[in-house]
Amino acid sequence: MGASESKLTFKEDVFRLAREDNIPADSQWWAQFYELPETADDVFALWSPTDVRNLTLNTAERPPPGTQLPPKKNLETLIYTCIARLHALQTRCCYSDPHQPIAHEVLNCIRILTRLLPYIYEADHLEEWERNFFWRERRPAQVWDKRHNRPGGYFDGLNPAKKYRDSEQGNGEEEEDIGERAIGAPLGEQLIDLLVRYMFFPNFTLPKKQDADGLPDLKVQYHIWNSGIGCRQSVGMTKENEKHAVEVIRLLLSLCSRQLYIPPHVVAETDTRPLTYLTTKPDRQVALSMICSLMNTVLKYNPATWRVPIDFTIEGDPKTKLVNLSLQLLLVLALYPDPTGEANQYRKSMSRLHRVEDFQFIQQGLTTVLTQPVSGMSSYLPGSQRNVPWAPEMLILFWELLQVNKRFRSFIIETDRAHDFVVLVLYYAMSAKDEPAKQGMVRMCVLILQTMSVEPTFGERLNKVFVGQESLPRELRIVNFHGSYADFLITSIHTLMTTTSGRLESIYPALLAVVNNIAPYVRDLQRATSSKLLDLFAQISSPKFLLEKDSNHHMLQLLLQAMNAILEHQFDANRRFVEVVVRSRKRFKALRDFTVEGATAELDRQAQERKDRGVGDVAASGVRSPRNGSIDSLRSPVSARSPQLGNVPEHGAFAIGDDDEDEPGDEMTSSATFSAPLSASASLVDDAVPMQSRSMSEKARGKQPVGQGSFSRSTSRNTSTASLPALITTPSSTTNTITASSNQQFRPTTEWIETWLPFLPLHTILSLLDHAARADSGAAAVPTTTAEHAGWKPGEEVAPPTSQAFQWTSLSLGWYLSLLWGFVYASDVATNKGMNGVWTGTSIKLFTILASQGGNVSLRSPKGAVDAVGSSIVQRLGSLSFNSPAKDV
């Protein structure tokens, strides 16, 4: 369509679709739509959003809310025309010249459907029509009798020449309702079957092939595209084949994008029919060919073989587009949790991978992409240290494989490969921590670490000495660092919690869960690492923090459990940690003697000191108001457990290891917040411990331990069954601090303290401190070696360690799906400028799109305060939930 005149004529016919409804379906006029356009840009430019929306309305005005009206009849006819042509081109030689390639018309039909579907999905008034038109058994279409201005006869929408007549009258039988007669499988299923076959169609997505008569072969061949998993030899796709595959996958993504138009709090529980059919109904051979083709295409990508300088843009090269879209389709299929309970065949296939060579292939493919910005090739290849655009999606793929395939998880964790992935995951978390638009990426990285840390072997492998830290990217380097991978991980966690101004408050529990999971296995923690753990304790045991909200003590409990695990399981191997704990004994004893009166008096004293020094009372008065605009608050998963999605088998919706053997724990639904400022270099041997134990009630005193007294003991790893909630904090004006929101309705009382203080897991630490005091009797100096504490043992038999695994819920799945679709949307916008994006300008409900400078987009996921949906889900998505403990993960 190079000539302007032909484009104007075509555009006039597009206008006619909306202006003149009920154009006869058997008219040859419809053929121009798949014959004339020459490129995808032609279709997207000549079918503007206004043109498409005009087809979705049955009247000149948008129908009132809640009104279910069908679209213009021309929209149905256009869809029938495209699907019918796709079927004809796949099943018979329907050209006058049988040697003419079919690609041109196939692509135009695909492009038209790709353009139409998002505008159908966004229209709430078409929801019932879309469900009936695409997913009910196909019924006859009906012509419009223009002469008499009334409904006419019935015909087959995919074959207008086939008419249906009324049954003969007068035979005493009731007339058949032709309009409700089933004449075929649902139209949506037929379309998906056609598209899947086109992914393996000779002369289109596979190399050219002729039949015995020398004509183009029309037989579908389910050959895996590239060598790798399940295949030793590639089929040899040409650039043209790759271009065609890109357009087919793009339409499949458009079909599956129904999820984009569902609010995040219900998306995981909503039956998305295209995804249900794709993931639960495929023939086994088709599913294996699909998943292997997609995975091999993604994992064989190697930027080192590309031209210099390396170009990672998706816009020009068909190979790059194919890799990116293949990864997105693979993840959209694999992440879908079918609400009907049927097994997702793609997850099932991923869970059954078991060959070591397949795992090596997967690991190499993942690291090739993820290590690109970390590799040190910049001196030879300028511009090579750049993130591959689909690196976030590769992290999702890695996380999925860890969750669904326990053999792959063992392959990664039981070798030094785990060290590489810890560094890589931390790199992406650290790189994104200061960018509000990337907080979902940070959350995902933390949950990947939590998933890995549930394996005992992971904690044991972290004791390897970390070398080469100085060669890491700037984002990962730690000044004067020396120690093990455990030291590196704990220090990085401390950095994420103390340098992000409260942006990551919702994942503090997950960060501390990682520390909890590795604590029983870490040995020889360095002094700096030990001090950072005590820094966190000093902050969350402060009066200000504990009195701010009635649930803040849960976070303190979680940290104490981690510290107990180190003392109970690795006491002799962590002399520096023991020394730091002993030097901080006044803080633990102050916590033991905590009272409301004493804590309030201490806060008043601190406030008076600041006033006397002329320091502003920003952090003292209470607390700043919560960050209602927090990205994390809008994205964070929740603590409520979903009955439909809990305890799924390994190949099911979302499983980690032997999930069917786990026992779900009780859950706490409250949230906690940090408040006290924290300096990463603060000394923990300061004697200025808060005087928070004054005016303690006799009843409370009777419950406190003396020496190795009678504290109700909750061991660090085996007695708590609570899911600890998220933190909701406010930004701080300084670095290395964590600030908190307050509960204005909460008034602490002595009765409230007695509900949790006697049950804090303090027994182990106080027992150690009591032993140290006796060993140190009369000495002027604080002991500096564990030899002086020799002979100390926990007062009771130590239970075996257990893990705190992340627990999926329907709302956390909503966050996860919004994260994935956010990546898909952003990638499409970056590739297709202006209104040429598949979903650009449509009314997406899964997340909020924020425009930014330079024409880029920023995603807030789930959808935020710009509409009523976002404001209603902020409270629902306020916390993370994880199971504590799991019996065997």
pLDDT digits (tens, 9 = 90+) for 214-252: 778 888 999 999 999 999 999 999 999 999 999 999 999
Nearest to 419, CA basis, from 348, 316, 488:
488
Task: List beta partners, residue 231.
Answer: 228
Residues 6+ away with beta carbon under 8 Å from 324: 314, 389, 390, 393, 827
Give the separation between CA 855 and CA 601, rounded to whole angstroms: 54
Q: At what angle do helices 318-335 and 810-831 cross, to 10 degrees?
A: 170
- Dmax of the chain from CA atoms? 116
Task: Report which secondary-structure segment, H or E, holds 294.
Answer: helix 284-299
Residue with tokens 């694999």: 334
Give the torsion through C-alpha atoms of 678, 492, 558, 543, to 10 deg. Answer: 0
CB atoms within 10 A of CB 609: 11
pLDDT of residue 862: 55
- In angstroms, the CA 854 to CA 341 distance is 44
Backbone angles phi, psi at 218, to 5 degrees: -105, 15
Q: Rounded to the nearest 5°, which phi and psi values hold at 513?
A: -65, -35
Q: How far is CA 421 from CA 210, 363, 366, 409, 618, in A?
A: 47, 10, 10, 12, 41
Which residue in the block uniquely carries the two structure tokens 């309705």? 745
Distance CA 739, CA 720 (A): 27
Give the end of a domain, one of 741, 773, 793: 793
Residue 633: per-residue pLDDT:
31
Last residue of a domain, one of 755, 774, 793: 793
Q: List alpha helices for 655-722, DSSP H.
A: 698-701
**What is the structure's pLDDT at 712?**
29
Whole-number Å distance between alpha carbons of 617 and 603 = 11
Question: What six digits make up the tokens of 470?
Answer: 């100085």
CA proximity to 583, closest of 694, 682, 483, 717: 682
State which of 772, 793, 814 marks the end of a domain: 793
Element of type H or E holding 750: helix 750-754
Q: Residue 745: give the domain boundaries.
A: 480-614+697-793
Find all residues with CB under 8 Å of 222, minimum gap 6, and list them.
200, 285, 286, 289
- Output the six-digit token pair for 218: 């029309």
Q: What tokens appear for 317 in the block? A: 């090269």
Domain-embedded: residue 341: no
Return the residue matching tokens 């213009």: 72
What number of other Cβ atoms are within 10 A of residue 209's Cβ? Answer: 13
Predicted confidence at residue 96, as pLDDT, reads 61
Number of domains observed in the structure of the chain: 2
On whether residue 157 sits in a domain, the answer given is: yes
Q: What does the block give as tokens for 473?
A: 């990217």
Give the angle subtended at the CA of 823 by the CAs of 818 and 828, to the nearest 5°. Answer: 120
pLDDT of residue 611: 87
Indicate whether 486 belongs to any domain.
Answer: yes
In a domain, 447, yes or no: no
496 is written with which tokens?
């994420």
Residue 461 lies in a domain: no
Where b means 16+ CB within 10 Å and e means fewer, 796-813 reads eebeebbbbbbbbbbbbb
Instruction: State the alpha helices, DSSP H only, in 168-264.
Output: 187-198, 239-256
Q: Which of 877, 820, 851 is nearest to 256 (CA)?
A: 820
Strand-pair partners of 859: 849
What distances in angstroms separate CA 532 from CA 501, 553, 680, one per listed residue?
Answer: 17, 19, 7
CA atoms within 13 A on the CB side of 831: 27
Nearest to 729 by CA among 627, 637, 622: 627
Q: Which of 772, 783, 770, 778 is nearest to 589 (CA)?
A: 770
Question: Any idea how long the chain is?
Answer: 889
What DSSP state is assigned to residue 179? G
**Rounded CA gap, 432 and 480, in Å?**
23
Q: How many CB atoms lie within 10 A of CB 448?
A: 25
User: Has residue 421 been placed in a domain?
Assistant: no
Is residue 562 a part of any domain in this protein?
A: yes
* 638: in domain: no
| Tokens 């910005």 -> residue | 373
Q: Are 194 and 87 in contact (CB under 8 A)?
A: yes
Structure tokens at 90: 């796949």
Residues of the chain with confidence (pLDDT) below 50: 60, 167-175, 306-311, 376-384, 617-691, 693-735, 739, 778, 780-785, 787, 853, 863-889
Q: Are 265 and 817 in contact (CB under 8 A)?
A: no
